Structure formats: structure tokens, C-alpha cells
Chains A and B, each alone.
Chain A
Amino acid sequence: RKEVEQDPGPFNVPEGATVAFNCTYSNSASQSFFWYRQDCRKEPKLLMSVYSSGNEDGRFTAQLNRASQYISLLIRDSKLSDSATYLCVVSLGWKGNMLTFGGGTRLMVKP
């Protein structure tokens, strides 16, 4: 079983749609959680960190459920530019040094 599991997709959605991704992690001792975005043939970039209380950044909302060990990302009003692979990432420590990446979920937003 992988430490961080994601549906690889692809998720094909029209512009303006709302789309949600989930991921599950196996190590209950994980302390910090993130979503990274990776464009095709580019490096990963931090999208947002994820807190138990939930956090929002513009059109993006992330949630953490520690009891169920899953993390979600909601994208509202999808844009063409949101097309990318979204990586769910966990770390055992608060500092986020030893990151464990999920395999990624590919999103394709169509006009």
C-alpha cells in the first residue's frame, strides 16, 4: 500500500466547474500536509498547506480529516490555467522536511 494515495484521473471538467480531489495517507503520525501543483514537464510548486480547520486561498479550499486520514482540495470556477497535476503531500514533522508525495491527480479543464 502506498503511503499517500490519490486517484490519478484525469479529471476532465469544463471551465467554470467545481472539482474536488481527495487523497488518503497511511501514517497516522503525519504532522503537516500540503497540496503541490506540477505543470507538464515542470517542477512541483507549493499550492497551499492544509490545516485541520480548513483553509481557503481564493478559488481553492483545502481540508484535512485526521480521524479518517484524508485530505481534500476543492477548486471552484475552474480556469483553463488550472490544468495541471495536483500532488498530495504529507510530512512526519512540522517542519515539512521529509515530504512524501502522492502519485498526483491530473486535471484537464476544457473550454
Chain B
Amino acid sequence: DAGVIQSPRHEVTEMGQEVTLRCKPISGHDYLFWYRQTMMRGLELLIYFNNNVPIDDSGMPEDRFSAKMPNASFSTLKIQPSEPRDSAVYFCASSSDRGVSSYNEQFFGPGTRLTVL
């Protein structure tokens, strides 16, 4: 089975440009998560969706960041305008609701390594 798919795997852009990261969750999963990982701050949850609806975006750093999930098989994270401090690895993860008595294991994609010059 295909895991979580992210594209592009690497992105180099210049400050001020718009960046769009893409994610395809595992088929049948109803939760989707966006994370950011840096050396300084570690791995941080940015936003998550349940059934395509944003549930918590308290981790989104500022208005330059936006995320959408137009359907169950696709999500985007957009940064506009990008800044050098946005350089990080961005991970997408998905999970399936396993019922009230169990946690939902999150499966991570390979990440997008973003460099903003």
C-alpha cells in the first residue's frame, strides 16, 4: 500500500516567493496533520484536519501560512511570502479513527525539505 505522499521532496526558493507543499494521505484515513521540523524548535504540529475540516490551527506560525484540504485525498500548505526562517522540513501525516478506546497512530510522509534563500 502507498504511504503518505508529499511533493516536492525538495524546494529551494527565494525570499518573497510563494511556496506550495502538497500531501496525499493514506487512502481511507480521515485525519491529516502538517508538521514542521527545525534544529532549533524540533518537530511542531502546525494544523490538523478531520474529514477535510481544519480542527486546530494554533500551531500555524503567522498569517503567511495557510493550509487547505479540498478533498479527502489532497491537502496543501502554502507560505506567502516565504522568508529564510521558514526553512525547515515539512512533514504531512495521516491517521484513521480507531474508535473511542484506542489512539490513532499517525503515519508520516517523507517530508519536503524547504530552503528559502
Q: Which residues of A contact B (CB under 8 A)?
A: 32, 34, 42-46, 49, 87, 91, 94-104
Q: Which of B48, B109, B110 contacts A97 (CB 8 A)?
A: B48
Q: Which residues of B contact A (CB under 8 A)?
A: 31, 33, 42-45, 48, 55-56, 91, 95, 97, 100, 103-106, 108-111
Main secondary structure of the interface of B (DSSP, over half): strand
Distance A103 CA – B41 CA, assembled complex (angstroms):
8
Can you list 7 contacts pairing A with B, beta carbon distance less than 8 Å?
Answer: A34-B103, A43-B110, A46-B105, A46-B106, A49-B103, A94-B103, A97-B104
Given contacts A96-B104, A97-B31, contact A42 B45 (CB under 8 A): no
* Contact across chains for A45 and B42 when beta carbons are under 8 A apart: no
Chain A residues whose CB sits within 8 angstroms of the CB of B106 once the complex forms: 46, 96, 99
